Amino acid sequence: MAFKYSRSVRAAALALFLLLLLFCRQASPANALSKYGSTGDEVIAVQTKLKELGYYKGNIDGIYGSGTKSAVTNFQKANGLSADGIAGVKTLAALGITKSSTSGEYTESEIALLARIISAESRGEPYEGQVAVGAVILNRIAHPSFPNTLSGVIYQPGAFSCLTDGQVNVAVAESAKKAAQDAINGWDPSGGAIYYYNPAKSTNKWIFSRPVINTIGSHRFFS
């Protein structure tokens, strides 16, 4: 009986291991297809591209819901692709979405997302201030107190007011696109800051207690 029980335990353990291995392979980002119910960076990239092309009218939130699926389907129909609402390899290629092969680089969609936040957060600010806002976002990625991905930093709850006041959905300024690229290329007018605020709008006492690294336009930058 003990021998049979031992064999049963080993067989169950092996079956569990194989199931976990299968799950990990299916969940691998390299093999993943964005479809209804998916979440993450690739969904953000798809939404960003579709919004730029006029197919997607919703919020860029990284959630593949009915609105995203409908936009993908319409894009596929317009471009002679199989209209299944799934952002597979051919659909991603048609959207111009490619994964960077080198760690630390950003995809075109990620750069577009950064530009969108810069535009929304620093509209009307001097160009140097726009680059500084982008630099703050990138500085957060490298900081242990924040998520280590661009989308993780941007969509961290409460991080950027433009995500809740609708400014993120306003057309992206051309200067913001250039500012995003300059920030990625290493220009950091913020002086290494991970926060910024507008003293005319902020009411947070903690923010005002922090030493300011730099002031550009309406924003004060600090860590």
Q: Report whether 156 contacts 145 (CB < 8 A).
A: no
Q: Which of 96-105, 108-117, 157-166 has the lowest mean pLDDT?
A: 96-105
As a whole number of angstroms, the distance between CA 168 and CA 143 comes to 24
**Tell me, what's the pLDDT at 212?**
94
The reported pLDDT for the residue numbered 30 is 37
Q: Give the pTM.
A: 0.55
Q: Provide the pLDDT for residue 28.
A: 38
Task: Compute the C-alpha angle 187/193/195, nearest 5°.
Answer: 125
CB-hemisphere CA count at 13 Å for 158? 1
- In this prediction, residue 26 carries a pLDDT of 39
- Segment 161-211, tens digit of pLDDT: 888 888 888 899 999 999 998 998 888 899 999 999 999 988 888 889 999
Domains of the chain, each with CATH number or no CATH:
41-95 (1.10.101.10), 114-222 (1.10.10.2520)
Give the Cα separation of 132 and 191 in Å (integer). 8
SS3 for 205?
A: helix
Distance CA 34, CA 11 (A): 34
- Stronger pLDDT, 138 or 8, i.e. the higher one: 138
Using CB atoms within 10 Å of the CB of residue 185, give its burial: 0 to 12 exposed, 13 to 18 middle, 19+ buried: exposed
The DSSP line for 135-198 is HHHHHHHHSTTS-SSHHHHHTSTTS-THHHHSGGGSPPPHHHHHHHHHHHTT--TTSS-SEEE-
Q: In which region does residue 217 sit, left (phi positive, over 0), alpha (psi from -120 to 50) or beta (all else)?
A: left
Predicted confidence (pLDDT) at residue 20 exceeds the cutoff of 80: no
Three-state SS at 36: coil
Does the structure show a pLDDT above 50 at 32?
no
Of the given ranges (9-18, 38-47, 90-99, 182-191), which has the lowest mean pLDDT? 9-18
CA angle 221/222/223 to nearest 5° reads 145
In one-letter notation, the amino acid at residue 149 is T
94/41 Cα distance (integer angstroms): 18
Q: Decide: 62 and 41 in contact? Cβ < 8 Å.
A: yes
Cα–Cα distance for residue pair 46/61, rounded to 1 Å: 11
Question: Measured between alpha carbons, how far is residue 139 from residues 146, 147, 153 in Å?
Answer: 9, 11, 10
Assess contact for 135 and 190: CB atoms under 8 A.
yes
